[in-house]
Amino acid sequence: MLHRTEGIVLNSFPYGEADLIVSFFTIDHGVVRVFAKGPRKTKSRFGSALEPLTYSRMAFWARENTTLPRLTQADIIYPYQKLKEEFGCFQRVSELVEMTLG
């Protein structure tokens, strides 16, 4: 089933050579972990929509019994660049992310 939602990228982990496992915080689904195929390639369709602390619109495909849905689309809504540039602010937001993923 295809799900469309918006959320903030909390973190991501490399999986294989070019793939990522990405955690989002969404209003609709809470914390969602998805498998993104190929975002670490230079010609990736995801661009920087999967960077931490980016507010993105996404679509992911989840089968009924799957534990890791597959991300099919991600577009940036708002990058929150100021959070990434100011160290004190970034540090506080990073602590919130850690508490959320707990």
What CATH number should be reported for the domain holding residue 60? 2.40.50.140
Task: List the pLDDT tens digit at each of the 102 positions of the chain.
Answer: 999 999 999 999 999 999 999 999 999 999 999 999 999 988 888 989 999 999 999 999 998 888 899 999 999 999 988 888 888 888 888 898 888 887
Rounded Cα distance, 54 and 51, in Å: 6
Q: What is the pLDDT of residue 50?
A: 95
Record the pTM.
Answer: 0.86
What total number of domains does the chain contain? 1
Measured CA to CA in angstroms, residue 26 lies from 3, 9, 29, 90 at distances of: 12, 9, 6, 20
Q: Give the CA dihedral 7, 9, 12, 17, nearest 10 degrees.
A: 70
Q: What is the pLDDT of residue 64?
A: 84
Count CA atoms within 13 Å of residue 58 on its CB side.
Answer: 33
Residues of the domain holding 87: 2-101
Rounded Cα distance, 45 and 12, in Å: 17
